Structure formats: C-alpha cells, structure tokens
C-alpha cells in the first residue's frame, strides 16, 4: 500500500498492511530542543529554516519524517502579511488576538488577559483578528498540490490556531474568570464564544477554500480536559461549545467532503467522545493513556466503531524511560487500538526534550514491524 492508502484504509475502519504512523502535526510535533538532538542522532547534516517562529516546535524537517517512514504530511495557515510580532527586551509580545505572552523555557506563557474586566458591550469593539486578512494562505495550495502530485503521503491540515474556543476564552478572560462566566455570567460567555467562533469559522473557510479538495484530515485543537476530568460539566459543553463545533465541522465537510475531522484534546476526554462524534469529529486525537478514564482497550470497545483514534503513545512515563518501556508501551497500544483498523499511531502529545531521541526512533522502527496486520503480539 502507499502511505495515503494505508491511512485512508485505517480511517475506513479496515485493516491496511500495517498501522499508519504520524508525527509533526498539531499537538504531536517535535519541540525544538528535541529536534536538534534527533537530527544529530539520525546523522542529518545541514540546517533548515524554521517554518514559523514563536512556538515550541518551529521546524518541520522532511528528512526526519522520511527516516521514520511517517505516513502523513502536514500543511498550515500563516499569519497575515500585515501582522508582525513585536517583542520587547523582556521577551514579551502580543499575539494576533492581543494576548500578551512571554517565553518561559521551551513554552509560551500567557501573562495577561485583555478582556478580564470587559462587559458584554465591550466585545463588539474589541479588535478581533480578521480571518480573511491577506497572506494566511500564501503558498498553501502550492505546497498541498506538491504533496498530492509528487508524493504518496496522506495530507493533514494543522489546526487553524494552536488552541480552540475554550482556551482562547481562558486566555482572553483569565481561566478562573471564564470558568465562572460559564456558570454565572452566561450572556457574556455566549457572546464571547460567538465572537471567537466567528473568527475560527472564518479561518476554516479560508483554509478549506485553499485546500479542501486536497486534504485528507482536518485538525481541530481544543483542550477541554485535564489529567483527572473535564474543565466543566458535560451540560456546559453542550450549551456553550457543542453548537459551535457542530457548525464549524459541518462547514469544513461542505468544503472538504472527503476529509475526516480530527479533534485534538488532551486529558480525560472520555465523557465527551459521544458528543464530539455527534458534533462531527471523526478522529479523537491524543488519547492520553495515563489520564483518568482513558483506558485504551475500553475506549476501543466503547467507541471504536464510531470514531478512529490517533495518538495513544504515552509521553509522560514510557517514552522517557528505557527501550523496554517503549516496547511495552507500543505493544499495549497496538493490541488495544489496532485490531479492525481505525488507528493512526502517534505520540499522545508533542515530543519534548526529556524524550531520548533513540527512544523516538526505536518506537517508529518497531511499529513498522509489530504494526503489520494481522496484529500478533
């Protein structure tokens, strides 16, 4: 099978020749510090230009993906041509949403909330990003066409922004304030989410106009859970977030009817999976195995006929351990998720500095062999 055939067969809930593998997309990319170690470990010479700036992972190296026999390739939106990050001497800057951030170690930390004291009437006057600003899709279609015409990889679009409705609300308002809004200031919460959703829907509109006929998987990122549970009740999800997800995913599928929607969510997301599927999510991404209620075997039994899974490989303990730990982790996830198809193997979050590069290479090289169907582990 070609790489793309392998991915599409798995997403049709059929068994391809082997389990497809992914690396380098939204929330399962390689952080910069690990990238340079991995590049050295693989013996790759010469530097490449970062494809973006100001993120935890800014390099996308085809040589790494080829060395690991990754089945997917990824494309994404750019910042508009009229927006430039202006960083002060302390490393602070504001993003396109007006949210102040600063780099702390390998991560960006939000250090202010521009709508913390806002009232409902203030939202109409806030300088929201223009999703149709020129430059966002510069070179995007050409890159997607290159992959489609000159390679056999499956094509995955990155999430339109690094976070979705909930986290953007937290960043603009402050997490504590926004969670209280959901409970006791509902008119404000509804209007704020409508404003955010309008921008994100516009971004997906621009995105799919450019590559909707070429893309196989469309990614959406939205951390709605933590290690032990959801950030809010299931009822709150249905009231505040599900209508927007349903609208956005339906729009994506009108523009890209052959594509699958992949929903990234860290943490203990299990209670939301039926609702995410109803909203239009076809693939649940991350499936963080150490989070509460995220037993891989149970998830496959409960939802394996309804959604596919992508991710699953633990980065909290197994991938920072020994080779034997990596092998045990890989075998467990293959036994759980691979039978019957519906699984793309990937790490359950970004590959960070504490993961030895030899462990990442060992993971994917073993997966090529042990992931062959029928699974016998």
Q: How far is CA 188 from the centre of its chain?
A: 28
Separate counts of helices (H) and strands (E) for the chain: 13, 10
According to the model, what pLDDT value does residue 328 have?
Answer: 99
Point out which residues pair with 343 in neighbouring strands: 309
Domain locations in the chain as residue ranges = 3-370
pLDDT score, position 91: 82
Buried b (16+ CB within 10 A) or exposed e, 314-341: bbeebbbeeeeebbebbebbbbbbbeeb
70: which 2 tokens?
A: 């990754």
pLDDT for the residue numbered 85? 82
Tally of CA atoms within 13 A in the half-sphere of 167 that contains its CB: 17
Q: What is the pLDDT of residue 325?
A: 99
Cα–Cα nearest to 323, from 357, 350, 354: 357
Cα–Cα distances in angstroms (integers) from residue 85 to residues 30, 205, 224, 346, in the given order: 22, 24, 28, 32
Domain 3-370 -> CATH class: alpha beta
- CB-side neighbour CA atoms (13 Å) of 267: 16
Q: How confident is the model at residue 48, as a pLDDT?
A: 93
Question: What pLDDT, on a 0 to 100 scale, did the predictor assign at position 248?
Answer: 99
- pTM, two decimals, is 0.97
Residue 84's pLDDT is 86
Give the pLDDT score at 297: 99
- pLDDT at position 104 is 80
| Spatial separation of the C-alpha atoms in residues 40 and 43, rounded to whole Å | 5
Q: Residue 88: what pLDDT? A: 86
Please, which residues bridge with residue 261 across strands?
A: 218
Question: Average pLDDT of each block of 10 consecutive residues along the chain (377 residues)?
Answer: 99 99 95 96 95 86 98 96 87 93 85 98 98 98 98 98 96 99 99 99 98 99 97 99 99 98 98 99 98 99 99 99 99 99 98 98 99 98
């Amino acid at each position: 099978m070609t790489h793309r055939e392998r991915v599409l067969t798995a997403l049709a809930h059929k068994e391809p020749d082997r389990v497809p593998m992914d690396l380098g997309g939204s929330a399962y990319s390689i952080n910069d510090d690990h990238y340079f170690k991995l590049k050295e470990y693989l013996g790759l010479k010469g530097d490449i230009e970062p494809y973006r700036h100001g993120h935890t992972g800014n390099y996308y190296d085809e040589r790494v993906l080829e060395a690991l026999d990754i089945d997917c390739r990824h494309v994404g939106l750019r910042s508009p041509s009229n927006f430039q990050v202006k960083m002060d001497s302390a490393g602070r800057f504001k993003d396109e949403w007006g949210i102040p951030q600063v780099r702390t170690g390998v991560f960006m930390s939000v250090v202010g909330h521009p709508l913390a004291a806002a009232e409902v009437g203030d939202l109409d006057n806030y300088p929201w990003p223009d999703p149709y600003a020129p430059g966002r899709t510069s070179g995007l279609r050409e890159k997607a066409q290159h992959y489609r015409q000159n390679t056999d990889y499956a094509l995955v679009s990155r999430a339109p922004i690094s976070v979705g409705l909930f986290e953007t609300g937290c960043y603009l308002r402050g997490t504590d304030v926004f969670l209280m809004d959901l409970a006791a200031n509902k008119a404000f919460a509804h209007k704020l989410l409508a404003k955010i959703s309008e921008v994100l829907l516009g971004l997906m509109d621009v995105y799919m106009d450019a590559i909707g006929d070429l893309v196989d998987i469309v990614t959406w990122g939205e951390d709605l859970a933590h290690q032990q549970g959801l950030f809010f009740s299931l009822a709150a999800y249905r009231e505040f977030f599900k209508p927007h997800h349903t609208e956005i995913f339906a729009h994506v599928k009108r523009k890209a009817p052959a594509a699958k929607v992949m929903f990234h969510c860290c943490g203990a997301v299990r209670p939301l999976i039926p609702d995410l599927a109803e909203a239009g999510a076809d693939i649940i991404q991350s499936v963080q195995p150490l989070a509460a209620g995220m037993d891989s075997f149970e998830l496959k039994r409960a939802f394996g006929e309804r959604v596919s899974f992508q991710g699953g490989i633990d980065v909290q303990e197994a991938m920072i351990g020994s080779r034997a730990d990596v092998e045990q982790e890989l075998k467990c996830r293959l036994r759980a998720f691979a039978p019957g198809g519906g699984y793309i193997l990937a790490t359950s979050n970004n590959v960070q500095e504490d993961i030895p590069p030899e462990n990442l290479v060992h993971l994917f090289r073993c997966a090529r062999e042990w992931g062959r169907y029928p699974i016998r582990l």
